[in-house]
Amino acid sequence: MWIARTLGGMTGEHEAGEPTPRVLLAKPRGYCAGVDRAVVAVEKALETYGAPVYVRKEIVHNRHVVKTLAERGAVFVEETDEVPEGATVVFSAHGVSPAVHAQAASRELRTVDATCPLVTKVHQEAKRFARDDYDILLIGHEGHEEVEGTAGEAPEHVQLVDGPGAVDQVTVRDPEKVIWLSQTTLSVDETLETVRALRERFPSLADPPSDDICYATQNRQVAVKQMAPECDLVLVVGSRNSSNSVRLVEVALQAGASAAYLVDHAGEIDASWLEGVTTVGVTSGASVPEILVGEVLHWLADRGWADVEEITTANEKLTFSLPRELKRDMKPQAVR
Ligand code: SF4
């Protein structure tokens, strides 16, 4: 059975006596506009240019997506110097630094830039504030591709701040000319904590012109916060290197779920997690195809958790058009 609830419509209906096993399914969940665009960009590049099409880094942080595209002829590489001269390379949704664009140009690669437009927006902010000679404090996770790309726009102006614990080590040239920016896929609450700590040290700290944590990250966290207090267990479908998926586990626990786990697919669920559990929350990160959530719901239904209520906190309608260079080369009827 599948019924829907919207924000404010919590009922928590249980049969009298024995509590009924049930699933709360967060909405929004799964693919965001930037991931959808990046995955379709690789598919269209394969159709337009033919296999192999090289992809620098994982196009999005999901093992299933990467494996499926690899089976269709995408070749995933770490750096552009692994791509044969003259071949086609797609840059991932996480973005790349100007140095990577320059390397690709020097090897005469045909490039398709699938950087999410919301990541590009943060790059533009970094460039603009670097031009104005600000010290830019970039809140994000050390080693994440997005952070490397954004910092690479202005390496002499950007310092990484990896959470509230890193604030003490920050040094700036002029405390009156400091701005913070952030990775798009962070925990909203933890980022605000980092900003508070930074502002204690630098009271004139300027805010970004608009939210850097993207709509999809925020919406998925809001949906999880809504359902988590009712959940004995929350299952987040997503890969371990997916920042926004890992954050959903943290947010679920902070919001009151008794337990929360990240699973790449249904096969990773441990049946012992269900012991003593009545209500299971299910959600998925922004890079996760819905088919993987469907498999988790089937796995739960087979074990008695067949009642599914969808908890809706937002309806997303945003879409992004494909990269310009790809649209130019596609057959007219295939352009979207
Ligand atoms: S999570 Fe946000 S920033 Fe990342 S691809 Fe999706 S919409 Fe873009």
Phi/psi at 245 (5° precision)? -70, -45
Fold assignment, 22-31+215-312: Cobalt-precorrin-4 Transmethylase; domain 1 (3.40.1010)
Ranges in the chain annotated CATH 3.40.1010.20:
22-31+215-312, 118-201
Helix orientation angle between 117-131 and 33-49, rounded to the nearest 10 degrees: 110
Q: Is 116 annotated as a binding residue?
A: yes
Q: How many CB atoms lie within 10 A of CB 23?
A: 22
List 58, 125, 146, 153, catalytic entry = 146
Residue 331 confidence (pLDDT): 77
CA distance 43 to 48: 9
pTM: 0.93
Out of 31, 37, 119, 317, mutate this one to test ligand 1's pocket (max ligand atoms within 8 Å of CB): namely: 119
Assess contact for 234 and 328: CB atoms under 8 A: no
Assess contact for 199 and 205: CB atoms under 8 A: yes
CA distance 87 to 33: 27
Residue 8 confidence (pLDDT): 43
Element (H, E) at 54: strand 53-56
Residue 184 confidence (pLDDT): 98
**Atom of ligand 1 minimally distant from the CA of 119:** 3
The reply to whether 146 belongs to the active site is yes
Ranges in the chain annotated CATH 3.40.50.11270:
33-115
Measured in angstroms, how far is the CA atom of residue 190 from the centroid of ligand 1? Answer: 18
Write down the CATH number for the domain with range 33-115: 3.40.50.11270
Q: Is 14 annotated as a binding residue?
A: no
DSSP string, 136-147: EEEES-TT-HHH
Residue 4 confidence (pLDDT): 66
Amino acid at 184: T
Out of 122, 191, 217, mutate this one to test ligand 1's pocket (max ligand atoms within 8 Å of CB): namely: 217
Strands (E), 78-117: 88-91, 110-113
Whether a cis peptide bond, with omega within 30° of 0, leads into 175 is no
Q: Is 94 annotated as a binding residue?
A: yes
Class level of CATH domain 118-201: alpha beta
Q: What is the mean pLDDT of each run of 10 residues along the chain (336 residues)?
A: 53 60 98 98 98 97 97 97 97 98 97 98 98 98 97 98 97 98 96 98 97 97 98 98 96 98 98 98 98 98 97 98 97 67
Of 184, 15, 43, 156, nearest to 98 by C-alpha is: 156
DSSP string, 163-201: SGGGGGG---S-TTSEEEEE-TTS-HHHHHHHHHHHHHH
Residue 97 confidence (pLDDT): 98
Measured in angstroms, how far is the CA atom of residue 6 from the centroid of ligand 1? Answer: 24
Phi/psi at 180 (5° precision)? -105, 145
Ligand 1 cavity residues, CB under 6 Å: 32-35, 93, 116, 118-119, 184-185, 214, 216-217, 244, 286
Strands (E), 214-289: 233-237, 260-263, 279-284
Amino acid at 241: N
